[in-house]
Amino acid sequence: MPIYEKLMGNPFVDAGVCGICEWLGRNVQPEQITPADLEQVVDDIAPMMQTDAGWKNLHGVFPNSVLTNAAYRKQDQVELLKKECQGYLNTIVELEHTGDCMGCGRRSTNTWLSRTNIPLTGSGKLRNFYPTFAEGAGYCSACAFAIQLSPLAFVATGGKFLTLHSNSWKALRSWSRVCIDDIRQQQLRQQIIGSYNPGYANPRNGLFYMARTMSQFQEMRTDENITMQVYCFTNYNQGPELEIYYMPAPVFKFLRIVYQSEFKTAWQEIVRSGYLVNWAKVKSEEDYKNRTNRVYENLLRDISILGYFLNRRIRKPRGNWELLSLYLKEIKTMEQTRLEKIKQVGDFIAECIQESGSDRRLVRLERAKSYEACRNVLLYIIRERIKQGAPTPLFSLDDYVEYLFPESEDFTATPWRETRDLLLFRVYEQLHNWLQERGFVEFDEDNASDSNDESFTEQTEED
């Protein structure tokens, strides 16, 4: 039996094992790790993972440890860390079938640890944190060792840390690779700063940044359903904290497809529209990267982001119908037939508006604030199309009931608004240039802010 294996189940152990594997080499798998490998990792990492070298953010992970407690400052902290790790190494055994270790459940506990060595565990004095009033949390040496190296796979975020747990080993490896690549760079530059810090004090934006970066790796080009559970924590003496963000598999899959395709640029535009900022004052990414992003927030909370695909101010879509369809199919599980029907009706409406030479109907559709108003606009368009001698009806009764305004079990879901926005998107896509030529776009596209304040306020007012 090996010492470690993939996905052992404890987020800190998995982070540590991933970090160790990635440090040893891109293709190294947990099952191959030997005690000699672990010794090598300690020899490599210990000189870096200490305050004197520049790794300053360990107080939030291992408070009071040999690396962070002022009492050890006068001693050789690298040696102390090596000694501590050696202590674990001397007693590491291979995985068994069962055991009472809180990290793996596959080996017997042989060390009792507190929050000094295991983030978010109780302190030694308060025994009521531990099962059966034990003197600490019970771990086996192999898991305890792995956790000491877990900061290799943490992302620093505004004084806290993000660590990934996932059902996919490939995802964990990709996350750690991003972190380890940075640490190797720090080592090369001889400028150690500690756990990878991409500068996101807003942890949710940091999570999406990581998802984007991970999507670049070849092994993320997969249909696999990968969920991302990200722990945002600090283990500070004064107030440890924990928040958990959950990125559902369809959202991460959508992001991977988008970031690996030609949709990338359009998607970035949609994401930018989710920041509530005054773009006129923005000089660099630093001015907005930590602001709340509504697109990200909504994706994490399963709220529709359809409104952000529309730039209502300049009557222009963000992205194209294919990108919008991808979002609706992957994340909102909308059926292809419904999408096709709405697209066709949108095309007919665009034709009708263009032939009428006026944007009157479009204005009415844009301003429709109720199901009734929306239906009325469509009724006018039907009449106008008959006048124009259109060969086919705008839609059949079946299309209307099944695809345009399907009954919704959840009354508050108000699908008419979704349908209206989809129709508007298609009309804008077909007619934006024509609307501009005709002077039906009031704002100068180059000067117009691309923030999406209008659609956002409209939604909050109505809902």
Sign, Cα dihedral of 291, 297, 299, 304? negative
Q: Which of residues 199-228 bind Zn ion (CB under 5 A)?
A: none
Alpha-helix residue ranges (DSSP H) falling in 235-276: 249-259, 264-273
Residue 67, SS3?
A: coil
Q: Which of 3, 140, 255, 314 binds Zn ion (CB under 5 A)?
A: 140
CB of 24 to Zn ion, least distance (A): 20
CB of 446 to Zn ion, least distance (A): 60
DSSP codes joined into one string, 257-312: HHHTSTTHHHHHHHHHHTB-S-GGG--SGGGTTTS-BHHHHHHHTT---GGGGEEG
CB of 426 to Zn ion, least distance (A): 56
Q: Is 250 a binder of Zn ion (CB under 5 A)?
A: no
Stretch that binds Zn ion, among 143-151, 152-160, 343-351, 417-425 (CB under 5 A): 143-151
CB of 65 to Zn ion, least distance (A): 19
Q: Which of 33, 78, 95, 101 binds Zn ion (CB under 5 A)?
A: 101
140 vs 152, beta carbon nearer Zn ion: 140
Find the helix or strand (DSSP H, E) in which 15 lies.
helix 11-24
Q: What is the identity of the amino acid at 412?
A: T
Query: What is the C-alpha separation between 419 and 406, in angstroms, rounded?
Result: 10
Q: Which of 20, 38, 104, 331 binds Zn ion (CB under 5 A)?
A: 104
CB of 21 to Zn ion, least distance (A): 17
Find the helix or strand (DSSP H, E) in which 155 lies.
strand 155-157
CB of 103 to Zn ion, least distance (A): 4
Q: How far apart are the first and last CA of the chain?
A: 57
DSSP state of 278: -
Q: Is 103 a binder of Zn ion (CB under 5 A)?
A: yes
Q: Which of 58, 143, 171, 365 binds Zn ion (CB under 5 A)?
A: 143
Query: What is the C-alpha separation between 110 and 101, in angstroms, rounded?
Result: 8
Number of C-beta neighbours around residue 123 at 10 A: 15
Q: Is 17 a binder of Zn ion (CB under 5 A)?
A: no
Stretch that binds Zn ion, among 57-65, 140-148, 265-273, 409-417 (CB under 5 A): 140-148
Residue 246, SS3?
A: strand
275 forms beta bridges with 293
42 vs 102, beta carbon nearer Zn ion: 102
CB of 147 to Zn ion, least distance (A): 10
Binding interface with Zn ion (CB under 5 A): 101, 103-104, 107, 140, 143
